[in-house]
Amino acid sequence: MANEKTFSDQLFEEYLTSQGLTTFEYEKDWEGIPTHPDYTVYHDDRTLVFDVKEFDYHQYHPGQLVCDNPCDRIREKINQVRNQFKYFKDKPCGLVLYTHDPFAELHDETIMLGAMYGDFGLTMLFDTEKSSLVPDSKRQAFLTGGKMFRCESSKAQNQTISALITLRYVHVGSRRYQRLFRESLKTGERISTNTIDFDIDEKHVGVIVWENVYANLPLPRDIFSGSYDERWGLDGDALAQTFCGRGYCCSRRLS
């Protein structure tokens, strides 16, 4: 018997349908396999497997100093999904993440990529003879704790996970209103929600795909590439944004 669908399950189904990915099963029974990843998606003779996990709102007390490593909560979700995916090494597998908690920053590349490859930081060369730092040797780097690559052992891991996928709304209407409001502060022109000619509540569901560059089977790039989507992966030798949907990029410029 299938479990009751969460809000993030329903939102993921809404996203799949919006992308024309309408052939999917929820908690499919696989013969001889004891686990039931949330979604099996069929596309162009390919079978893809996804598990959806969400972050509940975490109650912080007034005045409480929040100093936890933001990567750790994401790494915990990666740990939870490993057993789900270990039977599907012959299929691309994606961990879909949605948050009700604004402190889970699933849109921030330094946090998401840091959870995957190691805490984001700086490295510097040290000259032992001069007992000083080498000038101009400062470099950005992924350090310890990564779930897709461990710098401590210099080995890749969790290679069955093809990508992490941030599921979120793009609030086009409110971003447009924010831009108009900022412009009104410069011109002195008054604006209100009663005079604007667009829907301030307009929003669209989209995803950010964070490719696992060490995955045995990459997530195909011909899906999850809609107007309100974004993708990060290898661009040459560097990790960078490799795709930005027109609606999402325009909404970012609006804000």
pLDDT digits (tens, 9 = 90+) for 210-231: 999 999 999 999 999 999 999 9
Residue recorded with tokens 């060490």: 214
CB 183 within 8 A of CB 204: no
CA angle 64, 65, 68 (to 5 degrees): 120
pLDDT digits (tens, 9 = 90+) for 132-144: 777 776 676 677 8
pTM: 0.85
Out of 121-125, 182-186, 205-209, which region has the weakest mean confidence (pLDDT)? Answer: 121-125
pLDDT at res. 16: 98
Binning pLDDT at 50, 70 and 90, where does residue 69 land?
confident
Residue recorded with tokens 């309408």: 22
CA angle 225, 228, 230 (to 5 degrees): 55
Domain boundaries, the chain: 7-117+154-254
Mean of the pLDDT values across residues 88-107?
94
Mean of the pLDDT values across residues 109-122?
89
Residues 6+ apart with CB under 8 A from 175: 251, 252, 254, 255
CB 43 within 8 A of CB 20: no
pLDDT at res. 62: 59
Give the span between the Cα atoms of 105 and 143, in whole angstroms.
19
